[in-house]
Amino acid sequence: MLGAAWGVMILVGDFTVIVGLEKENTRYIEEEGGMNYISLETTSGKGLSLDDVSSIASNSTADFIISPEISVKCLDGFHVLGVAPNFTQIASFPLERGRFITPMDLRRRSRVCVLGTSAEERLFQGLGGLGREIQLEGARYQVVGIMEHKEEKRDMITGRRLGRWKFMRKNAMLLIPFTTAGVRHKGSASQVRMDFRTTTLSQVADAIDEILILLQDLGHAPEEFDIRSRSEELEWIYSMVRRWKFGLYAMIILSLLMAGVGVANLMLVQVNERIREIGLRKAIGASNGDVFSHFLLESTTLSLLGGGMGIVLGIALAKVVSSLVGLPYGFSPGVTTIGFVVSVILGIFAGLAPAWKAAHLSPVEALRYE
């Protein structure tokens, strides 16, 4: 019974964690712009200049939104990012108060900034930052807007934050105009990256082709950049999950085989201890089929009890693991059904040999057994 419980616990627990992982990945992609999102990052070469970004934006004919970004390392503990007005549409990160960065700010390289809620709290100790000033590398920036707060999801039982790093990073953002970051903070700025968002998922492939053509027209080689769509990211994640599943399949099969051997041995012991009882039942009219079905039912019941225990333990294990690693709880009724079905099948196959042995005992010899 314990062997069956162990095998079913691994089956239910691990697959529940996998379902939670897939839910978290899907939710993350939806929160970060959806499947029709494309990112372009420099991997080698000189990278993109501000003029390159302007050229791509003005010469593109595809139906997509473009948002260049420059990460600036100029204030410890904050995620300082140079962005364009389209950033809120690309990142699915709306404004709550004030205004966002405008095309005029880009042209003038204005020293204005927009803060995440935790950045505002830390810089101004809860007194409100809208309209006030901060300093970045000796330059004064006026706070013109505050972004919407990103709530941290918490586990219902433990209270642990789910996906904490993503929301903390957005809330700690300090956004300045893209051109200001590229010129005034050139020494501490990273290379330019670009994000694109098409109107529909079907436009993603055509958009990537056009981006590559525009890069070549600007004298860049395609291999200098990593261009990746969200669908590719999701497929990579799912390929890793599939590999994990294959490993789990091997572990589960081995565990269930061991459980089957354990149930079969236990039933054989039961048969040997009840030989006289079997002989007596046959002597008063029980048929081979009656004895066979009786012991098969016992082995199946035993396996089901172990399977039920395994399902409960598997659900508890998945809940604990999900809470510890910050994943949503991914309970699936289908996995529980599979656990019960596996328990029944295990009990039937493990009980076949003992039930067959009991059914074919000779009544006379069984009654004489000491």
At position 169, the amino acid (one-letter code) is: R
Q: Are β-strands 112-115 and 139-147 bridged in parallel, bridged antiparallel, or unpaired? A: parallel
For the ranges 46-55, 153-162, 182-191, 255-264, the one whose mean pLDDT is highest: 46-55
Quick one: tokens of 323? 């809470």
Instruction: Answer whether 0.75 is exceeded by the pTM.
Output: no
pLDDT for 30 equals: 67
Percentage of the residues of the chain whose pLDDT score is greater than 70: 84
The answer to whether the beta carbons of residues 2 and 263 sit under 8 Å apart is no
Q: What whole-number distance in Å separates Cα of residue 74 and Cα of residue 275? A: 83
The answer to whether the beta carbons of residues 267 and 299 sit under 8 Å apart is yes
Q: pLDDT tens for residues 94-125?
A: 889 999 999 999 999 999 999 988 889 888 88
pLDDT for 108 equals: 92
pLDDT for 164 equals: 39
Residue boundaries of the structural domains of the chain: 2-22+236-368, 48-219
- Averaged pLDDT of the chain: 78
Q: What whole-number distance in Å separates Cα of residue 42 and Cα of residue 71? A: 13
Q: pLDDT tens for residues 137-172?
A: 888 999 999 998 876 554 433 344 444 334 446 788
pLDDT for 157 equals: 36
pLDDT category, 176, cuts 50, 70, 90? Answer: very high
pLDDT for 143 equals: 94
Average pLDDT, integer, range 249-261: 76
Residues pairing with 154 in the sheet: 161
* pLDDT of residue 20 exceeding 80: no
pLDDT for 203 equals: 78
pLDDT for 2 equals: 66
The answer to whether the beta carbons of residues 41 and 207 sit under 8 Å apart is no
The answer to whether the beta carbons of residues 334 and 18 sit under 8 Å apart is no
Q: What whole-number distance in Å separates Cα of residue 43 and Cα of residue 88? A: 25
- Please report the DSSP string for 95-117 in residue order: EEEE----HHHHHHT--EEEE-H
* pLDDT of residue 3 exceeding 70: no
Average pLDDT, integer, range 220-246: 77
Determine which of 267-276, 338-347, 354-363 has the lowest per-residue pLDDT on average.
338-347
